[in-house]
A and B are shown apart, each in its own frame.
Chain A
Amino acid sequence: MGEQKSGMKDILSTHLFTRRQILAGALGAAASAAVGPFFIKSAFAASDEIRIGTIFPMTGNMAFGGNEGFTGTEIARQIINEKGGIAGRQITFVKADAPDQTAATNEMNRLISREGVKLVIGSFSSAIAFTASAVAERNRVIFWENHGVADAITRRGFKYLFKSDINATGTGGGASNFAARYLAPKLGVKPKDLRVAIAWEDGTYGSSVGKGIESVAIDRGLKIVANESYSAKTTDLSPVILKLKAAEPDVLLVAGIGSDAVLFWKQVRDLDLNVKACVATSGGWGVPNFAQNLGASAEGIFSSDFPTDVNPRALTPEAAAMQKEFITRFEAAKGSRPTGNAYLAFAGTMLLFQHVLPKAPTLEPEKVQQAALSLDLLEGSMANGCGCKFIPPDQEDAGRNERAFSVVLQWQQGKVEVVWPERFANRDPIMVPLPTWSARG
């Protein structure tokens, strides 16, 4: 023990390295830096393939959504490859799994520096999109996001980030818009007399959606009688529900992210809060799980959501054919209808493969950027019904697709159906006003 201690002291008191060692080390480092790039696989290393990175939470808490997103992306790749690829070159994916933000950073670094990819598609989650796109931007790699909705993602002035879907203000605003344009006339009141109560979970997702609901509700002149936030991790929402109940709203506008949506609606029923309509904003309210968990009491709830199975009549013939193809392939792969989230992945990736990459097959970031910014696709051009025009880098919200929109879905017989706007709808809205809980039994 004593010997060990003195040995330790010797090492500490003398220099750790001799000058010669340091010199040799420096030479070695310089040599490996010079040689290094030759070991990095080039983007087109394996003959003539286009290598693209994908980053999704394939495991962990968000695995369900992440896998769905990847499936949508993968179907787009298969379709394009079967048609002969892009400029005759097949696309291959380099997959990365990012269950959380730390993993997102690490995996992005791996994709870029070890795999040498020049373009990454992602990512299902706002949080992962936020982190992963920052790594991409630093390395001048294009980040193509089809899912994350948080407004903040496109508020950082990034040049190499493109986001094909709508943002949170848009989905939240869609709920208020629907209340003012459809519910108020249907209920026979003017928007200014429609009493709306807003509730949102206070995480990144819910707070940005909640702000969207509020700002559009103010624009449309709705009468806001309550505006409440809560933690999605809470075990009891009765104070929130009772507060909303005391405000006597006609319509509830809510943003919930996961299981809190189920707890919320369950407690609305338990505490006998009767409203004429409830308009949610995707998140926990739009997933298949929601109705499975609530059964009949989920019937009639609206959700301002990503476009899902929109009426093919509203699509261009090419987009309609794509939609059909997508549904068939998705059902074959997953055994269920594609959700809005899967549609985003597919439509956004097809947009990239069909309209952007043919103009920039080398994936040179500036070229891809130019090609993306030159897009001017009208509504109905994408498989989910959206159009596309990206906001240029010098403006606010750079890289966001300003022609992405939300539609209103409704739970009807355990399924979500597109009910509004009319041109995209497959069904008419039902249960307006909602029957009271005592009448529903």
Chain B
Amino acid sequence: MDGTLFLQLLVSGLLIGGVYALISIGLTLIFGVMRIVNFAHGEFLMLSMFAAFWLFHFTGLSPYLLAPLVILLLFAYGVAIYVLVIRRTIGSPMVVQIFATVGLGLFMQNAALVLWSGDFRTIQTPASTALLRFAGIQVSQSMMIASLVAIVIALILFAFMAWTYPGKAIRATVQDRVGAQLMGVNIDRVFMMTFAIGSALVGIAGALLAPAYPIFPSVGANFGLASFVVVVLGGMGSMTGALLGGFLIGVVETFSGFFIDAALKQAVYFLVFILVLVFRPTGLLGQRGAEEIGLK
């Protein structure tokens, strides 16, 4: 096998891995803090891709310029969904939370079908078709941007959690809800902020992926599955774990798709997933008892 092909496979794998990581960060944040697995996560992504599409459609501006707007919209949507749905499930059994978020996902998908039909759409700009060439290979610029942003966001979020007051409040809440409350932390607001930030992170993912992928009501399901695997593989609630898990899944998927069979690539990454869970039940960077201690 020649070096260029190897490099191309590796880079392609890292790029799609970066995309998975980007999508997963919001999911792992929400889980890490709130202990809620948001099964509507893929639909949040779909919604943000549609938001990016429509903003682009009506303004004609570059989707990258419109990204802040998408992020704001998704932040607001996150607040609304928290108030209307999620807040009512806090402290309820897991089953209630699962039903609530699965139901929310179904609702969003079907609402999208009614509003925008099942057709797929894409954003066409010079930016979405631009290519970067180096070392004899070429890669899509939009995918490159998405991957780099995933790394930057993971780092920023890490720093936010470690060194800022709201970050510390969030971590305190995770460690001991009652204790944090006694220290004057407004738990409800922390939860609302976390859910909204998680949602805004999906907004970033949607805005950056919109130029690279066809957009249709069930697009979220295709990405959603991979993001769940990434989050569990990386360690639930771990930002850097999500990053590492994303890249790992991407590379495994690309190489197994090439050397074994593209139709089997999911089977291969699930095999890796199962192996990791057998030997490291907490995931790559997760900590033991993550469901009690959580965020890293």
Closest B residue to A293 by CB, please name it: B122
The DSSP consensus for interface residues of chain B is helix
Contact call A61/B218, Cβ cutoff below 8 A: yes
**A231→B263 CA distance, assembly (Å):** 6
| Residues in B91-129 with C-beta less than 8 Å from chain A | 113, 117-122, 124, 129
**For residues 262 through 291 of chain B, which have their beta carbon under 8 Å from a beta carbon of chain A?**
262-263, 265-266
Q: Are A263 and B213 in contact (CB under 8 A)?
A: yes
The answer to whether B16 touches A295 (Cβ under 8 A) is no
Select which of A63, A238, A259 is within 8 A of B254 by beta carbon. Answer: A238
The answer for the CA separation of A236 and B8 in the assembled complex, in Å, is: 14
Distance between A58 CB and nearest chain B CB, rounded to angstroms = 12
Q: Is the CB of B121 within 8 A of A293?
A: yes
Q: Is the CB of A64 within 8 A of B8?
A: no
Contact B16–A238 (Cβ < 8 Å): yes
| Cα distance A295–B128 in the bound complex, in angstroms | 12
Asked if A236 and B263 sit within 8 Å, CB to CB, the answer is: no
User: Do A293 and B113 have beta carbons less than 8 Å apart?
Assistant: no
B223 within 8 A of A: yes
**What is the minimal beta-carbon distance from B87 to any residue of chain A, in angstroms?**
32
Do B254 and A235 have beta carbons less than 8 Å apart? Answer: no
Question: In the complex, what residues of A have CB within 8 A of residue B250's CB?
Answer: 236
Whether B73 sits at the interface, judged by CB under 8 Å, is: no
A230 contacts chain B at the CB level, 8 A cutoff: yes
Q: Is the CB of A242 within 8 A of B9?
A: yes
Bound complex: CA A237 to CA B253 (Å): 10
A63 to B114, CA, bound (A): 10
Give the shortest distance, in Å, between A5 (CB) and chain B (any CB). 25
Task: List chain A residues, Cβ under 8 A from B16.
Answer: 235-236, 238
- Do B223 and A228 touch across chains, with their CB atoms under 8 A apart? no
Contact of A243 among B19, B213, B223, B262 (CB under 8 A): B262
Considering the complex, which residues of chain A in the window 123-137 have a beta carbon less than 8 Å from any beta carbon of chain B? none
Bound complex: CA A59 to CA B12 (Å): 37
Chain A contacts for B255, CB-based, 8 A:
239
Name A240's contact: one of B13, B217, B257 (CB within 8 Å).
Answer: B257
Give residues 8-37 of B contacting A (CB, 8 Å).
Answer: 8-9, 12-13, 16, 19
User: How long is the Cα–Cα vector from A289 to B122 in the complex, in angstroms?
Assistant: 9
- A432: chain B residues within 8 A (beta carbon): none
Residue of A at shortest CB range from B257?
Answer: A239
Interface range on chain B: under 10, 10 to 19, 20 to 34, or 35 or more? 35 or more
Q: Which of these, B139, B256, B266, contacts A231 with CB under 8 Å? A: B266
Judge whether B5 and A63 touch: CB under 8 Å: no
Asked whether any CB of chain A lies closer than 8 Å to the CB of B226, the reply is yes
Asked if A190 is an interface residue, CB under 8 A from chain B, the answer is no
Residues of B within 8 A of A235 (CB): 16, 19, 213, 222-223, 226
Partner of B129, one of A59, A236, A262, A297: A297
> Is A107 in the interface zone, CB < 8 Å from B?
no
- Minimum CB–CB distance from A436 to chain B (whole Å) comes to 13
Q: Indicate if the CB atoms of A239 and B122 lie closer than 8 Å.
A: no
Task: Tell me if B214 and A262 are in contact (CB < 8 A).
Answer: yes
Residue of B113, B122, B266 ringed by the most chain A CB atoms within 10 A: B122
Question: Which residues in B have their C-beta under 8 angstroms from that of A62?
Answer: 118
Contact between chains at A236 and B138 (CB < 8 Å): no
Please give, as numbers and ranges, the residues of chain B lying within 8 Å of A259 by CB-CB distance. 120, 214, 216, 219
For residue B258, CB closer than 8 A to chain A, the reply is yes
Does A211 touch B at the CB level, under 8 Å? no
Query: Which of chain A's residues has its CB closest to B140's CB?
Result: A270
A242-B12, A259-B219, A272-B138 known; 15 new pairs, CB 8 Å cut-off, are A61-B118, A64-B118, A64-B119, A228-B261, A233-B222, A235-B213, A235-B222, A236-B16, A236-B250, A239-B9, A239-B254, A240-B262, A243-B258, A258-B120, A293-B121
